[in-house]
Amino acid sequence: MRPRGFALVVLLAGVTAVTAQQPVPPVPPGAPVQPPVPPAAPPVDAKLDAHLNGWQKNMGDLVNFRFNLELTRTDAVFKADRKYSGVVLCMKPNFAVLRLDNDADKKKEDYEAFICDGKSVFEYNGLAKTITEWKLPAPAPGGNANGNGTDNIMLDFLKGMNANAAKARFELTLFKEDANYVYLDVKPLQPKDKQEFTQLRMALYGPNTKWPYLPAQVYLSKPNGDTEQWKLKEPQTNIPGLGPQHFAAQPIAGWKQQEGGKAPQPQPKNLGQPQLPPGKDNGLVRPK
C-alpha cells in the first residue's frame, strides 16, 4: 500500500507521459485463440513530443527540487473549499518531504506531513497525533513491466520514468501552449494510479522561461468527485548541501507510531523531530 496524496504531489512535481498505446482487441467468445495482436501505433503529435523531450532533458539534469505549495481542496458534495499552504522537497533517487498546513487553523495543529527516506514513507497526522510508516516495495530484479525498479509511482518519477514506461501508464494530450506555459491533460491507465486521480490538467513553465518544464499549476479530479487545485511556487533546483540526512523521520513525544495496515505500535519514548532541509520557509516542513 501507499499513502495517497504524498505520491500524488511528487507526480505533480515531476510528471510526464506520452500518448497511450491502443488496447489489444478482445477475442470474441468461442473464437479460436489467436496470437496477440500488436497494438496500433499511437498518433504522432510533433509538438507534444518536442515538449516531452524537453521535459525529460530538464528533469534528467535535476538532482533535487523544491516548491512552496498552495492547495485548494473542494468537496464535491458540500461544495466547500479548504485551503492549505506548504512545501515539497524531492531528491533523487528516492527521497522526499512534504508538509501541508490548513490555513484556517491558527494553532498549526491541523496539518499533514510525509517523509520518504528511500525505504519507507512516514505519514504524520497533526490532528490524530499519529505517525504511520508505509514500507515501500523492494526493487524488482531488472525492473517491473514498465521499465522501473518498483511499482510505486513516487519512486518511479523520482528515478526518472522513461517514455516507454509512461506510455503504458498514462494518456497525455497537449491542451494548448502560449509564450509562458505548456498545458497538458493527463489521464491514468493503470488501476493503482486511478485510485489517485481520474484526470488532471497541468500548466508547465514554457521552454523559454526561467524554469523550463517545471510545474506551475495543476487542476485535478479525484475518483470521489472532489477536486484539488495546486499552485507550485518559488521553485528551487539543485540545492547544494542536501543529503539523505535531511530526509530522516523522527518520532514525536506523545504521538502514536504504527505501521500502515497493521495495529498501532507502542508510542516511542525518545524525542525528536525530522531534520530540516536547506531552503526558505523551512518551518513548513517540520511536523510539530
| Strand pairing category for 256-259 and 130-135 | parallel
pLDDT (tens digit per residue) in 55-90: 888 888 889 999 999 999 999 999 999 999 999 999
What are the pLDDT tens digits along the chain (288 aa)? 456 566 655 665 554 333 223 333 444 445 444 455 555 555 668 898 888 888 888 888 889 999 999 999 999 999 999 999 999 999 988 899 999 999 999 998 999 999 999 899 999 999 999 999 998 877 655 544 433 444 456 556 555 565 566 667 889 889 999 999 999 998 999 888 898 889 989 899 999 999 998 889 999 999 999 999 999 999 999 999 999 999 999 999 999 999 986 654 555 554 444 454 555 554 444 444
Q: Say how many domains are in the chain.
A: 1
Q: Looking at residue 137, what is its pLDDT?
A: 75
In a domain, 30, yes or no: no
Whether omega before 93 lies within 30 degrees of 0, making that bond cis, reads yes
The CATH code of the domain that includes 170 is: 2.50.20.10
In a domain, 28, yes or no: no
In a domain, 31, yes or no: no
Buried b (16+ CB within 10 A) or exposed e, 10-46: bbbbbbbbbbbbeeeeeeeeeeeeeeeeeeeeeeeee
Give the domain extent around 51: 6-19+41-283
Model-level pTM greater than 0.85? no
Distance CA 221, CA 199 (A): 6
In a domain, 26, yes or no: no
Query: Minimal CA–CA distance to 137: which of 116, 122, 148, 151?
Result: 151
User: Is residue 217 within 8 Å of 231, Cβ to Cβ?
Assistant: yes
In a domain, 29, yes or no: no
In a domain, 71, yes or no: yes
Alpha helices (runs of H) in the chain, residue ranges in sequence order: 6-14, 46-60, 153-159, 163-169, 191-194
Query: Minimal CA–CA distance to 186: which of 195, 178, 198?
Result: 198
In a domain, 94, yes or no: yes
- For residue 200, give Cα distances in angstroms to 11, 74, 110: 11, 14, 26
- For residue 263, give Cα distances in angstroms to 43, 132, 133, 254, 256: 49, 10, 12, 17, 11
What are the φ/ψ torsions at residue 20 (nearest 5 degrees)?
A: -75, 150
Q: What one-letter code names the amino acid at 279?
A: G
User: Is residue 169 within 8 Å of 146, Cβ to Cβ?
Assistant: yes
pLDDT (tens digit per residue) in 102-149: 999 999 899 999 999 989 999 999 999 999 999 887 765 554 443 344
